[in-house]
Amino acid sequence: MRSKEIYERGLKIIPKAAQTGLRSETHYPEPFIPETAYGCKIKDVDGNIYTDYHMAFGPIILGHNHPEVNEVVKEQIDKGVLFGAGMCELEVEVAEKLIELIPSAEMVNFVNSGTEATYHAIRLSRAYTGREKVVKFEGCYHGWHDYVAFNVNPPADKMGKIYPQSKGILKAAYDATLILPFNDSDAFKGLMAEHHDEIACVILEPIPHSVGAIIPTKEFLKTLRRETKTYGSLLIFDEIITAFRHNIHGVQEEFGVTPDITTIGKSMGNGYPIAAIVGKKEVMSMIHNGVLVSGTYSGHPSGLAATKKTIEIIERDNVIDYISKLGEEYRKALIDLIDDLNITARVIGYKSIFAIQFAEGEVKDYSSIVGIDKERFKRFAAEMRKRGVFFTPNPMKRCHLCLAHTENEMDEFLDAASEALKLV
C-alpha cells in the first residue's frame, strides 16, 4: 500500500504525519493519503474512492475542484499571484459584496484563516474598549491562539473551570479569559454584572459546530446583545463555519441579532485560503490606525477570485437552499434508521451539517455532549470508511454536505450506516 509507505516516510519528519492534530486523526484506522478530489468524491493514492462528508472541515460547499471557481483562480494567477502593495480591485469588489450581504459588515479586512480573524477581532475589541478580558463559551472553537484556546472540549471534571487545549499558553491568557456554559442567559447576566468593566468582548460560534451542533435559543443570543450593549463590551460572532453555508447573510440574520464584529471564512472560498473580519465602521477603522493587522498573504488574489465566484454560484444556483433541504433529509432518514435498529444514538445538526452521536437526550450545551461514547463513534467511522464513506473519526466533529451530494449519495450512506451501526 502506497498510503502506508508515504505515511511512514512522513511520520519521520512531520509531527503525527499531518499539518494539524485534527488532520492526524483521519489516519485512523489506516493512513489516509488523499491524491485527488472532485465533486463529493475523494481518492487516495491506492485508488480507493470515497464519498467525502468531511469536506476539509467544511469549506467545500460547491464540491471539490469546482471548474468555474478553478478557472477564475487560474485567470488571476496569469495576471499576478501576489502583489503585496496597495490594493487590487478584487479586494474592493469582494469587500463591497460582503458589506451588501452581512448585516454587521460596514468595513472589511481580509486575512488567511479563521484563527487570524478571531485573533484580530479580539485585539480590536481590546483597543476599542480599553479592557482586556474575553468571555467565551464551553464547546466553542475559535482557533489555536492563546486568547481562545480554552474549553473547546474539556473532560467532564474540568467543565466550568479554565481548561487549556494546549501546553505553552501564556498565564496571562488564563487570567484574561472567562468561561461560561452556552445557552445560559442567567450565568451570562451574572458574569456581566460582576465583571462588566473588565470585559472587552464576548465571542461565540452562534451555532457551536465544533462539538457537532448546539442550537442557540433566541433568548440567549438576544441576552448577549442586550447585555454587551448595556455595558459597552463588543459582541463577536464567529461565523467561520455558518456564514455562506447556512445563510448567505450569516445566521445573524435568521436569529435577528447583529454583532459588532463577525469573522467569516471557510465556505466563502470553496477551499481556497480566505477569511475576513467584518464589523462596525467605528471599530474597524482602528485597523492601521493604532491597531496592527498584518500578513504577507492577506487578501491574496487567488482567494479573493475564488470567493467572488463562489458567492456568485451560491446565489445563482440556490446552493444553500439545496444543501439545507438535503441535510434535513439525511437527518430524518438517520433518525428513522436508528429507531429501527433500536440503538442508543442521536442525530444532531443544522441545515447542511449533521452528526451521529452515541448518546441520548437533547443537546442544550456542552454538558449534553461531553459524555458521548467516543470509542464507539471511532469504530463506526472506521466501518463506514470500509464501505466507501469518509468523515473524520473525531466524535466531536460533523459531516458536511456540498452541492455535489445527491440523494444517491444519501442512499449509499444509509446502506453503509445500516450495516456499520449493527457492528459497533
Task: Please enumerate in sequence order all residues whose Cβ is within 8 A of that of 236, keeping only pairs 6 or more positions apart, or say none.
Answer: 118, 121, 122, 125, 201, 202, 203, 204, 259, 260, 261, 262, 263
The count of other CB atoms within 10 Å of the CB of residue 42 is 23
Quick one: CA dihedral 327, 333, 335, 341, positive or negative? negative
Q: Clarify whether 52 is annotated catalytic.
A: no
Contact 278, 262 (CB under 8 A): yes
Contact 358, 370 (CB under 8 A): no
Concatenated DSSP letters for 350-415? ETTEEEEES--S---SGGGTTTS-HHHHHHHHHHHHHTTEE----TT--EE--TT--HHHHHHHHH
Q: Clarify whether 321 is annotated catalytic.
A: no
Q: How far is CA 146 from CA 23, 123, 127, 187, in A?
A: 21, 12, 17, 24
Sheet-wide strand order for 261-264: 107-111, 275-279, 261-264, 234-238, 199-204, 133-137, 177-180
Contact 338, 346 (CB under 8 A): yes
Q: In the numeric block, which cell numbers belong to residue 191?
A: 458574569
Q: Decide: helix, strand or coil at residue 372.
A: coil
End-to-end CA distance of the chain: 26
Beta bridge partners of 261: 236, 279
Beta bridge partners of 243: 247
Contact 152, 139 (CB under 8 A): yes
Q: Count how many residues are written for the chain.
A: 424
Q: Which of 266, 308, 309, 378 is catalytic?
A: 266
Contact 77, 306 (CB under 8 A): no
Q: How far apart are CA 275 and CA 98, in angstroms?
A: 11
Q: Which of 44, 52, 184, 238 is catalytic?
A: 238
Q: Clarify whether 7 is annotated catalytic.
A: no
Quick one: CA dihedral 269, 119, 259, 347, positive or negative? positive
Supply the Cα-derived Rg of the chain in whole angstroms.
Answer: 21
Q: Which of 53, 119, 141, 330 is catalytic?
A: 141
Backbone angles phi, psi at 142, to 5 degrees: -130, 25
Active-site residues: which are they? 141, 238, 266
